[in-house]
C-alpha cells in the first residue's frame, strides 16, 4: 500500500469523528485526515481517489474547508469508469457551486458524458448540470440537453426536462428552443416524464409569452384530458398516495392550467369542468388530498372569473380554516390573503375565525393571521377589530407584541373615524405595549393631540389615569409627561369635561408628583427625563403654588452626570429664578403642530428623495428654510428659486456684473466638459447664457478663436499665460476652482521688469477688430487701489454701436466701473471710447491683478461678442 | 422551486445538505445555524411551516431527524410535505427501516437517492419503484466495476505491469 495514502477507510474515519468528545478532538482528527488526503492528492494516486473524495464530502458537511479537493472531483469525472464518475459528480455538486471559476473546467467533460453510450453516465451528467450549471455552461450545453429531451430512455428524458428548467432560468433567451420539444413531453404516459415535462412547460410559460400562447392553443385540450384521466384513474399501487393516484401529477397539472387560464377567458372556460370535478371529488381527510385541493383553489382564484367555481373555492378555504390540523389552517390563511383581491366580502365572513387564529399558539399561524386581519380592516369594521386586537395585546407573547403593536398602530392611524377614538386606542396600546411602540407613532399621536383642541382636557386626564396604572411603559410616560406639561392646568381644573368622563380630583401637587416620579425613575431613558424636565418648567408657571417645589426638583439635577440634563437644569433654574417677567410667555403652550406638514414629512422621510426633503424644508412652519447640507440641494434651490440665491459665493459678483444666471450656466458647465479643452471655467460662465445668437454648441469655436487672437499678443508681451490649463469645473464648486485657476496663473506668469512705481501701459486685449489698452495710475497713500483707464479702439472699417464693456474679477479684488465716455465706437481707429476702472486689491503685494472681460457691441445691427482674460497686468498693482 | 434541502438531527448536527441555489460556504453555515435554531425550538403540535427571509421552510420530523426543505413564497407547502415523505419512504425501502446511523455512514447513498428524486429543485419522479430500480441498477454497475478490479486476472495484470 502506498505509504502516503490515507490508510483509514471512510467508515473508520466517520467512527473516529463520532467518537470525539470535544470540538478540539474533532478538529484534530479532521486535520489529520485532511493532511493525509492532501498528500494523496499530491501523489496523484487514482486508487484511493474514490475514498478520499467521499471523506472530503463528509468533512465538508461538518463545515470544514475542502477547496483543495475541487480538482480531484474534476479528475474523477474525467476518468472512464462509472463508479469514479458517480462519486466525482456528487463531489462536484457538493463542494462547488455555480459561482466558482473551476466549474468552467468541467464543461468539456460534461459535454462528453452527455453524449456517452452508457445512459447512467448521461444521467449523472444531466443531474450535475441541472443542479449547478452557470449561465455560460447553460449556453454551451443547451443543444445537448435539447437533444436528450428525445432520448429513448424515459429516465433520461425526465432528467433532461428538469435540466432545461435550470437552463431557461439562467438564460431566458434560450426558452424558444425548448418550446417544441416540450410539447411532445406533455403527451407521454410515463409519469416521471409527464411531471417534469409539465413543470418545464410551466416555467417556459413564465418566461415567454410566445410559449404561453403556443401551449394555450396546442396543448390545453390534452392537459385537461390528462388531468381527467388521472383524477378518474383506478387504483395504481405504484403511484398511489392515500388513495389518490399521483398527487404530484395532479398538482403540477393544476399549476400549468393556472398559467394557461390566467388572463384568458376562453381557456379558463375550457378547464372549468375538470376544476369543479377536482374541487368536489377530492378526498380531504389526508394531506395529499388537501394539497391537491389547495392547488385547485389557487388555480380557481387565478383564472378568469367564474362565479360558481369561486364560491366552491371559498367554501373549501372555509372548511380548511375550521380544520384542526395546523398545517391546513396555515395554508387556508395564506390563500385567503390572495382571495381578498377576488372576493373581499366572502373573506370578511370568516373574520371571526381569522381573529381567533391571531391568538393561536403557533407563531407561523399568528403571523399569517395578523397579516390577513390587517388586509381585512376597513372603515366599517375597524372598531371591533381593533378592540379584539388590543385586548389580545394584553395576553400575547412578548416576541409577538412587536408585530402586533405595529399593525394595530398602523390600522388605527389609517382608519380612525374620529380623534377621540384614535387617542383612546393609542392610549390603550401605549399602556399595554408602550415599549414596543416606535418613535414616529407616538410623535404622530402628539401631533394629533395638539390639534384636537377640544380634547386637550380629556386627553391629559386620560393619560394621567393611565400613568397611575402602568408607569413602566416608556412611550406612555413620554406622551403623558408631555400632555401634563402642556395642559397641566386643564388637568387640575377639570377643564373641558366630556360627559363620558368621570370627574377626578387632581391637585397641583399630584400632577407635579407624577412628573417627579418620571424624572427620578431609574428605568426611564434620557429622552423621557429631558421631556419631564421641560414639563416641570412649564408647570412652574402653570402651578404657582408648586413653583418652589418644582424649582427644587430642577435644581437637584444641576449636578447630573448627563450633560443634557445638567444643562437643562441650570438653564431652567435661571429662568425660574431670574426671569419671572418673561417666564409665562416663554413656557406658553406649544403652537399647534401642523398635521399635514407632519404627515408629509413623515412620508418624505421614508424614501430619501431630494424633491420631498427639499419640499419639507420649504414648508417648515416657522418659515426658516432648513440649511441644506448637500451641495446638490443648494443647486436645486438655486434653480427653483426665481430670486438670485444669496448664499452662492462665487455666483454673486458674476451675476451682478454680467447678469449671468449662474444656476443655469453652471449646470451645463458640468456636463460640457469634453469640448472645453482650451477653455476654463470663467470663460465658460461668461459665454453660456449670454446673447441669444450664441448657442451652446458654438461656444467652443468662439472661445478658440478669441484665444487664437490673444496668443500672439501674450507672446509679444513676454507673458505667456498658459491658455489651456485644464480645469475641472464641478457645478457646485465653480467659485473655488476659479480661484485655483487664477492662483495658477499668478504662479505661472514670468516676472516682468519692474520699473518702480511707474507702470507701463499694456495692450490688454486685441482682436482683429478691437484693441483695448490699459493705462495705470495709483493714488498716493493707498497702495491697494489702482486707477485703470481703458481705451478701446475700433480696428475695423465699420462703426460699432451699443458698445458695452464688462469685467469680472476674483474675490480678492474689488472692481468699480465708471460709465464709458460713449457707447458708439467710430470706425478704423478714428476715435476711441474710454472708461475708468477702479480696482482695489485686498491681497496687495501677494497677488497680481487678473480680470475677465467681455465686450459686446452691434455691428450692422448684429450682436457681436468678444471675450478674453487679462493676466498681463504689471506686477505690484 | 426548492431552494435547498437540509437534514438536521435533534442535536443540531447536519446530516445532509443540498443547495439548488448558489449560497457561499459562509452563507450556508449561517443558514443552517439560523434554521436549526428556529426549527428545533418549535413544539410538536405546531404547523410544519416556518417563514424565513421571504421564503418558507417546510420541515418534518422523523424519529431523531428533521427533514427541511426551503421553498418559494408561492409554492405548495402541503405538497412539499408529501415530497419529504416520498423521500423518506424511498430511503426506508432502500436501507430497510432507515435510521439516523444509516444516513451517517452511507451519506453518499442518501445523496444518490435524493438526486433521483430532485433535480434543479423540482420533483423528478413520483414512483418509488422507479427510483429504487434506478438506484439498484447504478449500484450494480459499481459492484461489477469493483469485482472486475479485484478479479484474479486483474491482479495478475497489475502485478506483471
Which residue has better confidence, A329 or A472? A329
Residues of B in contact with A18 (CB under 8 A): 104
Q: Is A6 near chain B, with CB under 8 Å?
A: no
- ipTM value for the complex: 0.94
Which residue has better confidence, A828 or B3? B3
Q: Is A99 near chain B, with CB under 8 Å?
A: yes
Q: Above 90 in pLDDT, residue A595?
A: no
**pLDDT at residue number B111:** 95
**pLDDT at residue number A604:** 56
pLDDT tens digits, A71-105? 888 889 998 889 999 999 999 998 887 777 888 88
DSSP conformation letters of A263-292: T-HHHHHHHHHHHHHHHHHS--SSHHHHHH
- CA dihedral of residues A107, A109, A111, A117 (deg, nearest 10): -160
pLDDT tens digits, A411-455? 888 888 888 888 888 888 888 888 888 888 888 888 888 888 888
Residue window 125-184, chain A: list those with CB within 8 Å of chain B: 126-127, 130-131, 155, 158-159, 162-163, 165-166, 169
Residues of B in contact with A363 (CB under 8 A): 46
Q: Are A358 and A370 in contact (CB under 8 A)?
A: yes
**pLDDT at residue number A399:** 79
Q: Is A329 near chain B, with CB under 8 Å?
A: yes
- List the helix and strand counts (H, then E) for chain B: 6, 7
Residue of A nearest to B33 (CA): A63
Q: Select from A193, A189, A169, A172 the least CA-distant residue to A181.
A: A193
Q: What is the mean pLDDT of residues A741-757?
A: 44
Residues of B in contact with A14 (CB under 8 A): 104-105
**pLDDT at residue number A469:** 82
Q: Above 90 in pLDDT, residue A375?
A: no
β-sheet with B49-52: strand ranges across: B14-19, B2-9, B65-71, B55-62, B49-52
DSSP conformation letters of A586-601: HTPPPPPPPHHHHHHH
**pLDDT at residue number B161:** 61
Q: Above 50 in pLDDT, residue A689?
A: no
Q: What is the mean pLDDT of residues A614-622?
A: 37
Determine the Cα–Cα distance for residues A702 and A706; give it in Å rounded to an integer. Answer: 6
Q: Are A61 and B107 in contact (CB under 8 A)?
A: yes
Handedness of CA A108, A110, A111, A116 (dihedral sign): positive
Residue window 26-65, chain B: list those with CB within 8 Å of chain A: 29, 43, 45-51
Residues of B in contact with A61 (CB under 8 A): 14-17, 107
Task: Read off the pLDDT band of A602 (50, 70, 90).
Answer: low
**pLDDT at residue number A603:** 64
Q: State the pTM of this model.
A: 0.66
Task: Read off the pLDDT band of A148 (50, 70, 90).
Answer: very high
Top mean-pLDDT range of A56-60, A281-285, A820-824 = A56-60
Can you name the residues that pair with A614 across neighbouring β-strands? Answer: none
pLDDT tens digits, A187-208? 888 999 999 999 999 999 999 8
Which of B128, B129, B142 lies nearest to residue A83, judging by beta carbons? Answer: B142
- In chain A the first and final C-alpha atoms are separated, in Å, by 97
**pLDDT at residue number A58:** 92
CA angle A477, A534, A447 (to 5 degrees): 60
**pLDDT at residue number A653:** 40
Residue of A nearest to B147 (CA): A83
Q: Above 90 in pLDDT, residue A777?
A: no
Which residue has better confidence, A355 or A127? A127
**pLDDT at residue number B124:** 94
Residues of B in contact with A93 (CB under 8 A): 18, 115
pLDDT tens digits, A285-301? 889 999 999 999 999 98
Q: Above 50 in pLDDT, residue A699?
A: no
- In chain B the first and final C-alpha atoms are separated, in Å, by 52
Which of A163, A295, A365 lies nearest to residue B76, judging by beta carbons? Answer: A295
Q: Above 50 in pLDDT, residue A640?
A: no
Q: How many other C-beta atoms can be found within 10 angstroms of the C-beta atom of residue A781? A: 6
Task: Read off the pLDDT band of A144 (50, 70, 90).
Answer: very high
Residues of B in contact with A248 (CB under 8 A): 79, 82-83, 86, 123, 126
Please report the beta strands in A676-830, taking only residues with DSSP state E, as ranges in sequence order.
762-766, 770-777, 785-794, 800-808, 813-817
**Lowest pLDDT segment from A123-132, A755-764, A797-806:** A755-764
Please report the beta strands in B29-147, taking only residues with DSSP state E, as ranges in sequence order.
49-52, 55-62, 65-71, 118-119, 122-123
Rounded to the nearest angstrom, the minimum Cα separation between A260 and chain B is 17
Residues of A in contact with B49 (CB under 8 A): 327, 330, 364
Q: Give Cβ neighbours of residue A580 (< 8 Å, ≥ 6 apart).
A: none
Q: Do B115 and A362 touch (CB under 8 A)?
A: no
Rounded to the nearest angstrom, the minimum Cα separation between B32 and chain A is 10
Which of B125, B130, B137 lies nearest to residue A120, judging by beta carbons? Answer: B137
**pLDDT at residue number B107:** 93
- All three cell numbers of A345, joined, read 366580502
Q: Is B132 near chain A, with CB under 8 Å?
A: no
pLDDT tens digits, A521-567? 877 888 888 888 888 888 888 887 888 888 888 888 888 888 888 88
Determine the Cα–Cα distance for residues A466 and A612; give it in Å rounded to an integer. Answer: 38
Determine the Cα–Cα distance for residues B9 and B153; give it in Å rounded to an integer. Answer: 46
Coil vs helix vs strand at A828: coil
Q: Is A192 near chain B, with CB under 8 Å?
A: yes
**Lowest pLDDT segment from A241-245, A504-508, A708-712, A843-847:** A708-712
Which residue has better confidence, A780 or B79? B79
Interface with chain B: mutation pick from A65, A258, A291, highest number of B CBs within 10 Å = A291
Give the domain A762-870 fold.
Answer: Immunoglobulin-like (2.60.40)
CA angle A645, A648, A649 (to 5 degrees): 135
**pLDDT at residue number B43:** 84
Across the A/B interface, how many CB contacts are shorter than 8 Å?
161
Residues of B in contact with A291 (CB under 8 A): 76, 78-79, 81-82
Q: How many other C-beta atoms can be found within 10 angstroms of the C-beta atom of residue A360? A: 19
pLDDT tens digits, A462-507? 888 888 887 788 888 888 888 888 888 888 887 777 777 777 788 8
Q: What is the mean pLDDT of residues A375-390?
A: 83
Q: Is A367 near chain B, with CB under 8 Å?
A: yes
Q: What is the mean pLDDT of residues A587-597?
A: 77
Please give the mean pLDDT across all residues of chain A. Answer: 78
Q: Do B123 and A195 touch (CB under 8 A)?
A: yes
Residues of B in contact with A287 (CB under 8 A): 78, 81-82
Q: Do B29 and A87 touch (CB under 8 A)?
A: no
Pairing mode, if any, of strands A244-245 and A800-808? unpaired
Rounded to the nearest angstrom, the minimum Cα separation between B113 and chain A is 11
Rounded to the nearest angstrom, the minimum Cα separation between B96 and chain A is 18
Which residue has better confidence, A729 or A485? A485
Give the domain B2-160 fold.
Answer: Beta-Lactamase (3.30.450)
Q: Above 50 in pLDDT, residue A751?
A: no
**pLDDT at residue number A605:** 52
Q: Which class in CATH covers the domain with range A101-215? A: mainly alpha
pLDDT tens digits, A2-35? 333 456 788 889 999 999 999 999 999 999 999 9
**pLDDT at residue number B17:** 93
**pLDDT at residue number B62:** 93
- All three cell numbers of A209, joined, read 409569452
Which residue has better confidence, A154 or A659? A154
Residue window 71-110, chain B: list those with CB within 8 Å of chain A: 76-79, 81-83, 86, 104-105, 107-108
Residue of A nearest to B129 (CA): A238
Coil vs helix vs strand at A413: helix
Amino acid at each position: 500500500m502506498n505509504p502516503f495514502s490515507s490508510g483509514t477507510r471512510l467508515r473508520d474515519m466517520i467512527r473516529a469523528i463520532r467518537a470525539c468528545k470535544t470540538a478540539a478532538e474533532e478538529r484534530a482528527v479532521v486535520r489529520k485526515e485532511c493532511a493525509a488526503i492532501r498528500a494523496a492528492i499530491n501523489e496523484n494516486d487514482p486508487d484511493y481517489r474514490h475514498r478520499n473524495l467521499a471523506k472530503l464530502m463528509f468533512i465538508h458537511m461538518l463545515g470544514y474547508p475542502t477547496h483543495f479537493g475541487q480538482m480531484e472531483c474534476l479528475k474523477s469525472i474525467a476518468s472512464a469508469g462509472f463508479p469514479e464518475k458517480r462519486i466525482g459528480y456528487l463531489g462536484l455538486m457538493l463542494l462547488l457551486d455555480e459561482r466558482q471559476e473551476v466549474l468552467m473546467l468541467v464543461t468539456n467533460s460534461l459535454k462528453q458524458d452527455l453524449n456517452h453510450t452508457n445512459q447512467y453516465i448521461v444521467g449523472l451528467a444531466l443531474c450535475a448540470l441541472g443542479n449547478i450549471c452557470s449561465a455560460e455552461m447553460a449556453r454551451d450545453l443547451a443543444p445537448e440537453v435539447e437533444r436528450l429531451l428525445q432520448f429513448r430512455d424515459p429516465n433520461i428524458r425526465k432528467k433532461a426536462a428538469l435540466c432545461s428548467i435550470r437552463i431557461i432560468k439562467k438564460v431566458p433567451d434560450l426558452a424558444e428552443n425548448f418550446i417544441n420539444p416540450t410539447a411532445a413531453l406533455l403527451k407521454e404516459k410515463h409519469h416521471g416524464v409527464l411531471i417534469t415535462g409539465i413543470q418545464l412547460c410551466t416555467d417556459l410559460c413564465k418566461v415567454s409569452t410566445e410559449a404561453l400562447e403556443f401551449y394555450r392553443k396546442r396543448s390545453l385540450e390534452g392537459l385537461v384530458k390528462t388531468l381527467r384521466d388521472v383524477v378518474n384513474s383506478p387504483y395504481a399501487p405504484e403511484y398511489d398516495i392515500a388513495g389518490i393516484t399521483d398527487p404530484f401529477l395532479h398538482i403540477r397539472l393544476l399549476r400549468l392550467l393556472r398559467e394557461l387560464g390566467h388572463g384568458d377567458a376562453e381557456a379558463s372556460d375550457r378547464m372549468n369542468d375538470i376544476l369543479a370535478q377536482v374541487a368536489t371529488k377530492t378526498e380531504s381527510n389526508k394531506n395529499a388530498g388537501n394539497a391537491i385541493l389547495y392547488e385547485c383553489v389557487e388555480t380557481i382564484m387565478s383564472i378568469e372569473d367564474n362565479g360558481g367555481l369561486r364560491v366552491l373555492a371559498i367554501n373549501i378555504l372555509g372548511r380548511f380554516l375550521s380544520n384542526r390540523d395546523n398545517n391546513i389552517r396555515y395554508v387556508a390563511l395564506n390563500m385567503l390573503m390572495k382571495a381578498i383581491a377576488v372576493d373581499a366580502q366572502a373573506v370578511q365572513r370568516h373574520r371571526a375565525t381569522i381573529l381567533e387564529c391571531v391568538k393561536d399558539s403557533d407563531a407561523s399561524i399568528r403571523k399569517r393571521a395578523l397579516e390577513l386581519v390587517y388586509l381585512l380592516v376597513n372603515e366599517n369594521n375597524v372598531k371591533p377589530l381593533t378592540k379584539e386586537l388590543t385586548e389580545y395585546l394584553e395576553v400575547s407573547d412578548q416576541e409577538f407584541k412587536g408585530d402586533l403593536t405595529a399593525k394595530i398602530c398602523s390600522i388605527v392611524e389609517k382608519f380612525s373615524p374620529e380623534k377621540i377614538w384614535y387617542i383612546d386606542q393609542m392610549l390603550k396600546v401605549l399602556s399595554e405595549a408602550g415599549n414596543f411602540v416606535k418613535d414616529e407613532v407616538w410623535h404622530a399621536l402628539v401631533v394629533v393631540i395638539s390639534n384636537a383642541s377640544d380634547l386637550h382636557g380629556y386627553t391629559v386626564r386620560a393619560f394621567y389615569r393611565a400613568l397611575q396604572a402602568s408607569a413602566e411603559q416608556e412611550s406612555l410616560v413620554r406622551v403623558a409627561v408631555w400632555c401634563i406639561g402642556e395642559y397641566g392646568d386643564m388637568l387640575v381644573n377639570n377643564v373641558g369635561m366630556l360627559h363620558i368622563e368621570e370627574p377626578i380630583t387632581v391637585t397641583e401637587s399630584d400632577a407635579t408628583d407624577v412628573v417627579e416620579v418620571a424624572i427620578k425613575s431609574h428605568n426611564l431613558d434620557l429622552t423621557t427625563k429631558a421631556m419631564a424636565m421641560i414639563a416641570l418648567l412649564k408647570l412652574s408657571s402653570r402651578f404657582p403654588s408648586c413653583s418652589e417645589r418644582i424649582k427644587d426638583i430642577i435644581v437637584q439635577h444641576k449636578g447630573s452626570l448627563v450633560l443634557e440634563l445638567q444643562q437643562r437644569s441650570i438653564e431652567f433654574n435661571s429662568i425660574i429664578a431670574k426671569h419671572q417677567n418673561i417666564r409665562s410667555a416663554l413656557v406658553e403652550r406649544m403652537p399647534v403642530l401642523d398635521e399635514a406638514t407632519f404627515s408629509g414629512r413623515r412620508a418624505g422621510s421614508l424614501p430619501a428623495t431630494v424633491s420631498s426633503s427639499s419640499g419639507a424644508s420649504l414648508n417648515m412652519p416657522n418659515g426658516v428654510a432648513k440649511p441644506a447640507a448637500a451641495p446638490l440641494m443648494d443647486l436645486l434651490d438655486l434653480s427653483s428659486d426665481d430670486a438670485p440665491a444669496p448664499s452662492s459665493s462665487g455666483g454673486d459678483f458674476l451675476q451682478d456684473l454680467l447678469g449671468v444666471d449662474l444656476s443655469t450656466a453652471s449646470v451645463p458647465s458640468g456636463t460640457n466638459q469634453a469640448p472645453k479643452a482650451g477653455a476654463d471655467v470663467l470663460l465658460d460662465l461668461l459665454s453660456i447664457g449670454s446673447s441669444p445668437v450664441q448657442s451652446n454648441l458654438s461656444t467652443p469655436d468662439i472661445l478658440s478663436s478669441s484665444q487664437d487672437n490673444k496668443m500672439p499678443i501674450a507672446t509679444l508681451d513676454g507673458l505667456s499665460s498658459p491658455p489651456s490649463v485644464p480645469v475641472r469645473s464641478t457645478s457646485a464648486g465653480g467659485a473655488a476652482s476659479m480661484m485655483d485657476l487664477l492662483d495658477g496663473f499668478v504662479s505661472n506668469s514670468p516676472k516682468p521688469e519692474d520699473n518702480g512705481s511707474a507702470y507701463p501701459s499694456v495692450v490688454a486685449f486685441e482682436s482683429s477688430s478691437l484693441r483695448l489698452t490699459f493705462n495705470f495710475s495709483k493714488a498716493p497713500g493707498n497702495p491697494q487701489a489702482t486707477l485703470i483707464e481703458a481705451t478701446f479702439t475700433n480696428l475695423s472699417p465699420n462703426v460699432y454701436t451699443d458698445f458695452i464693456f464688462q469685467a469680472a474679477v476674483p474675490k480678492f479684488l474689488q472692481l468699480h466701473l465708471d460709465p464709458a465716455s460713449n457707447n458708439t465706437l467710430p470706425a478704423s481707429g478714428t476715435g476711441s471710447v474710454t472708461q475708468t476702472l477702479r480696482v482695489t486689491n485686498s491681497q496687495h503685494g501677494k497677488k497680481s491683478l487678473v480680470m475677465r472681460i467681455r465686450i459686446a457691441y452691434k455691428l450692422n445691427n448684429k450682436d457681436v461678442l468678444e471675450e478674453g482674460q487679462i493676466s498681463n497686468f504689471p506686477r505690484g498693482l | 422551486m426548492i431552494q435547498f434541502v437540509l437534514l438536521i438531527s435533534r442535536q443540531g448536527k447536519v446530516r445532509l445538505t443540498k443547495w439548488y441555489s448558489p449560497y457561499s460556504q459562509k452563507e450556508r453555515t449561517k443558514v443552517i445555524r439560523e434554521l436549526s435554531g428556529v426549527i428545533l425550538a418549535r413544539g410538536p403540535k405546531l404547523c410544519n411551516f416556518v417563514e424565513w427571509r421571504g421564503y418558507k421552510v417546510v420541515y418534518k420530523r422523523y424519529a431523531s431527524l428533521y427533514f427541511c426543505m426551503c421553498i418559494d413564497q408561492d409554492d405548495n407547502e402541503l405538497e412539499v410535505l408529501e415530497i419529504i415523505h416520498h423521500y423518506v419512504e424511498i430511503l426506508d425501502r432502500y436501507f430497510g427501516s432507515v435510521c439516523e446511523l444509516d444516513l451517517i455512514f452511507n451519506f453518499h447513498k442518501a445523496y444518490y437517492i435524493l438526486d433521483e428524486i430532485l433535480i434543479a429543485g423540482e420533483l423528478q419522479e413520483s414512483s418509488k419503484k422507479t427510483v429504487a430500480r434506478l438506484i439498484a441498477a447504478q449500484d450494480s454497475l459499481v459492484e461489477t466495476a469493483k469485482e472486475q478490479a479485484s478479479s484474479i486476472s486483474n491482479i495478475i495484470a497489475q502485478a506483471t505491469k
